[in-house]
Amino acid sequence: MKLNDLKIGDKATIIKMKAHPSIKKRLLDIGLIRGSEIKKVLENKGMNGYEIKGAVIAIRCEDTKDIEVKL
């Protein structure tokens, strides 16, 4: 399952990221690492909000399509 497939309120664990190196580094810097729990809290046109490690972050949908998660 991909991160952008989650519905609001769904919690998942990050399994793998296959993002472009510059995007991947930014995502790693904000805590999106394998094994982290993430919850989708907001859906917006082209961008979604996720809660990770007590913070809410907004990530463009195009950057979440290559992040694999499991429920």
Task: Tell me how many domains the chain contains.
Answer: 1
Give the alpha-carbon dihedral of 3, 52, 21, 67, to 10 degrees: -10
Give me the mean pLDDT over the 37-45 stretch: 93
Give me the mean pLDDT over the 38-45 stretch: 92
Give me the mean pLDDT over the 50-68 stretch: 89
pTM: 0.85
Containing domain of residue 13, as a range?
3-70
Alpha-carbon gap, residue 24 to 41, rounded angstroms: 21
Cβ–Cβ under 8 Å, residues 20 and 28:
no
